[in-house]
Amino acid sequence: MPIRKREIAAYIILSSLGDENIDLRKALDLLEVFYKRRTARKILKMLHSAGFLEISGRHVKINSCSDAFRRYISGYIRARAIKRLKSYNIGEVIDSGTTVRVVCSDPEHELCKKREILLDGLVRIEFTSPQRTQ
């Protein structure tokens, strides 16, 4: 589910407390100033599933903004890379989590001449020839 302005606003409100770890009751009480109780609960669940918060029992851990956004957007970046690489039609594209392997059928293609592309922990793209994969 996409993160909307409502969830980003709630994340900013919670992170403005200055504490990395807060009580779940305190988080709900704070969000109830801006949202209905049911909406506040849904927002906390949504932020948790997107990786912005970690909820364990009665405690909420607020993840750093940059880490949370990196985790949230990494799937999109990997999907875009796979889609674009398939459109080049240079070989088979194999997705295995954080690594995308391209088995190049055309070794003369400019992309196939690269060994790998590493995007700082988001996605790793490896280019191999068919004989190197066996």
Q: What distance in Å separates the CA atoms of residue 30 and residue 40, rounded to the nearest whole number?
A: 9
Residue-level pLDDT at 133: 45
Residue-level pLDDT at 114: 80
In the numeric block, the tokens 């407390």 are attached to: 17
**Average pLDDT score, the chain:** 87
Q: Which helix (H) or strand (E) holds 72?
A: helix 65-88
Q: What distance in Å separates the CA atoms of residue 28 and residue 26, rounded to the nearest whole number?
A: 5
Q: Which residue has the higher pLDDT, 16 or 115?
A: 16
The whole-angstrom distance between residue 12's C-alpha and the CA centroid of its chain comes to 18
Over residues 94-111, the pLDDT tens digits come to 888 778 888 888 778 788
List the domains of the chain with CATH numbers. Answer: 5-63 (1.10.10.10), 75-133 (no CATH)
Q: What distance in Å separates the CA atoms of residue 106 and residue 38, rounded to the nearest whole number?
A: 55
Q: Which residue has the higher pLDDT, 51 or 131?
A: 51
